[in-house]
Homo-oligomer: A and B are copies of this chain.
């Protein structure tokens, strides 16, 4: 039974996807052509679309649960960084062939875990057959008090730069997947390797930070293409620069081991993608209150530098000299 392909779009939608829409009246059980959504009075909707493509954004052999989780998490991560609370999402699923029932059930299970963790519901979408790779295109809807979305381009010189969690773990996890022997080279335990891999496979949107960002931050964004590049985007949009202290970057135990064995991993913590941590610029006068409030979150925040007058991102060593990171971060069309 479970090796059989799903037969027909209607079966795919009604059997596997409609249960994910049960909690949202405006989804009409995925039986209509459109969904309806409205923010609470005084709120507005914060919207984002960020598709993921097999072989581009995740390895071809990624488990269906993890693909589904990632597809939703990368969008919800943006909502969190903007100070918004997830509400709902649309999903367009492009499949190279009719999926097996077992694959589809696991994919739906991953979505169910993710939407429960993030507090949102599937409300509509589309399924297509494609001659290309599996593509999951989610559009996520969050809510935020009107006019309170935290912007990317409103950082000001003197603002203190913070990041959530730890950096580089997802890059390490991906490297462990693709480079046999790396675990041994870096001297990582099974548990450390598994934790790094989980950071790559299951990005954890930092939703708990959203209200603190609204209360304290000048600017914020999530880190998907590497700290150096994404911070450069914040600086450019803000008409400012940034100084980051490389030794201040928060590192997990596995990343500290990796840096100890191969110092290039410190550079990678500043340049590799898929962190899905949040970079926030907080006025100096509010930095203590922000860090204090964030201390009660299970991921924490770390001060890594500050916004400066001028332009561009300088990453400094402990001795104050600037690192040359070459061309940092990912650009699909560079």
Instruction: Tell me the A residues contacting B by CB distance below 8 Å.
Output: 5-9, 11-12, 26, 28, 31-39, 43-51, 53, 55-56, 78-79, 81-82, 84, 90-92, 94-95, 98, 123-133, 135, 137, 139, 141-142, 144, 146, 149, 151-153, 221-222, 237, 331-334
Inter-chain CA distance A6–B333, complex, in Å, is: 7
Inter-chain CA distance A129–B53, complex, in Å, is: 9
Q: CB distance B37 to A44 under 8 Å?
A: yes
Inter-chain CA distance A248–B78, complex, in Å, is: 51
Question: Which residues of chain B come closer than 8 Å to A37, judged between CB atoms?
Answer: 44-45, 47
Most B C-beta atoms less than 10 A away, residue of A34, A46, A47, A79: A34
Q: CB distance B48 to A33 under 8 Å?
A: yes
Question: Which residues of chain B come closer than 8 Å to A82, judged between CB atoms?
Answer: 32-34
Inter-chain CA distance A137–B55, complex, in Å, is: 19
Q: CB distance B333 to A127 under 8 Å?
A: yes
Query: Could you pull out 15 A-B pairs where Cβ atoms are within 8 angstroms?
Result: A7-B333, A12-B333, A33-B48, A33-B78, A33-B152, A33-B222, A34-B82, A47-B123, A51-B137, A53-B131, A95-B332, A95-B333, A127-B332, A130-B132, A132-B132
Q: CB distance B128 to A49 under 8 Å?
A: no
Inter-chain CA distance A8–B133, complex, in Å, is: 23
Q: CB distance A53 to B128 under 8 Å?
A: yes
Question: Which residues of chain B come closer than 8 Å to A47, judged between CB atoms?
Answer: 34-37, 90, 123-124, 139, 141
Give the Cβ gap from A165 to chain B, nearest Cβ, in Å: 18
* A35 to chain B: closest residue by CB: B47
Q: CB distance A56 to B125 under 8 Å?
A: no
Q: CB distance A34 to B129 under 8 Å?
A: no
Q: CB distance B49 to A92 under 8 Å?
A: yes
Q: CB distance B56 to A129 under 8 Å?
A: yes
Closest 7 CB pairs of A and B: A132-B132, A38-B44, A129-B332, A139-B139, A98-B333, A49-B90, A34-B48
Q: CB distance A48 to B124 under 8 Å?
A: yes
* A38 to chain B: closest residue by CB: B44
* A147 to chain B: closest residue by CB: B36
Inter-chain CA distance A12–B35, complex, in Å, is: 31
Question: Which residues of chain B come closer than 8 Å to A91, judged between CB atoms?
Answer: 49
Give the Cβ gap from A15 to chain B, nearest Cβ, in Å: 12
Q: CB distance A130 to B53 under 8 Å?
A: yes
Q: CB distance B126 to A51 under 8 Å?
A: yes
Give the Cβ gap from A126 to chain B, nearest Cβ, in Å: 5
Q: CB distance B130 to A135 under 8 Å?
A: yes
Give the Cβ gap from A212 to chain B, nearest Cβ, in Å: 18
Question: Which residues of chain B come closer than 8 Å to A84, judged between CB atoms?
Answer: 34
Give the Cβ gap from A100 to chain B, nearest Cβ, in Å: 12
Inter-chain CA distance A35–B142, complex, in Å, is: 10
Q: CB distance A334 to B7 under 8 Å?
A: yes
